[in-house]
Homo-oligomer: A and B are copies of this chain.
Amino acid sequence: MADISGLELYAFWRSSATFRVRVALNLKGLTAHEHFINMDAGEQRSAAYLKINPLGGIPSLVEPGHAPITQSLAILEFLEEAQPTPPLLPSDLHGRARVRSLAGMLVSDTHPLITPRVRKQLASGNGSGSGNGIDDAAWKAWQTHWFSTGLAALEQRLATEADTGDFCHGDQPTMADICLASIMSMVQVLKISIPATRTIDRIMAHCNALDAFARAQPARQAGAPA
């Protein structure tokens, strides 16, 4: 186990990717000093922040004396290797692959499609070919499509695969649950209507009963609306 202390986290209150890192830190009993990057004011594209993360993504994790670590899954894997207890991945080869696959369905195939930079690009007319931009209703429809598609596919896997337990994989939380909770938190914050997801809802009840998840909720972060 490496000795990691003095962590600094560049964060935004409702950022789904930041939520993932907060839960992992909480589960592992680690703390990070948070720097608030106001995405509503575009601070993630400021010259100062782009030096930390050239893609302008939130969050970035900084350990003193080391380069910033970006990309939420890379940060989760880093925390898992630096502080293996409690584990966020199963111990067996195929279980680990399953958890990473479930996480990827959310982090790679769902979340990137509904970020602010996608709305910005849709609004520019680059994509529609019309130059007429996108209104709130069309953006909501776009978000609903991608959340529904990703969560329906995940629900089907979780409902039918034998390794699903109280949590996505067995009876302890893993990276898959962290990613799922981060997406369900967005669904709630953004008030998106999705089809029924009974297995996901059952798993989320187990997640939300854990203090590590509850404390990471967007509404409880600095910068959130009162």
Does residue A195 face the partner (Cβ distance < 8 Å to B)? no
In the bound complex, CA of A82 to CA of B113 (Å): 32
In the bound complex, CA of A59 to CA of B128 (Å): 29
When C-beta atoms are compared, the residue in chain B nearest to A119 turns out to be B127
Given contacts A70-B101, A93-B82, A96-B77, contact A55 B127 (CB under 8 A): no
When C-beta atoms are compared, the residue in chain B nearest to A105 turns out to be B55
Contact A74 B118 (CB under 8 A): no
In the bound complex, CA of A141 to CA of B130 (Å): 12
This chain's copy number in the assembly? 2
Nearest CB of B to A59, in Å: 12
Nearest CB of B to A77, in Å: 6
Contact A127 B122 (CB under 8 A): yes
Within 8 A of B (CB), among A85-141: 93-94, 96-98, 100-101, 103-105, 107-109, 111-113, 118, 121-122, 126-130, 132-135, 137-138, 141
Nearest CB of B to A197, in Å: 13
Does residue A223 face the partner (Cβ distance < 8 Å to B)? no
Interface range, A side: 35 or more
Does residue A187 face the partner (Cβ distance < 8 Å to B)? no
Task: State the majority secondary structure of interface residues on A.
Answer: helix
In the bound complex, CA of A107 to CA of B105 (Å): 12
Within 8 A of B (CB), among A134-174: 134-135, 137-138, 141-142, 145-146, 149-150, 153, 156-157, 161, 163
Does residue A2 face the partner (Cβ distance < 8 Å to B)? yes
Contact B93 A2 (CB under 8 A): yes
Contacts of A63 in B (CB 8 A): 94
Contacts of A109 in B (CB 8 A): 55, 57, 71, 112
In the bound complex, CA of A139 to CA of B67 (Å): 36
Contact B145 A126 (CB under 8 A): yes
Does residue A32 face the partner (Cβ distance < 8 Å to B)? no
Does residue A25 face the partner (Cβ distance < 8 Å to B)? no
Contact B94 A71 (CB under 8 A): no
6 CB-based A-B contacts, threshold 8 Å: A55-B105, A56-B153, A70-B101, A78-B96, A112-B112, A127-B138
Given contacts A54-B157, A128-B132, 4 further A-B contacts (CB under 8 A): A71-B104, A74-B104, A127-B142, A128-B138
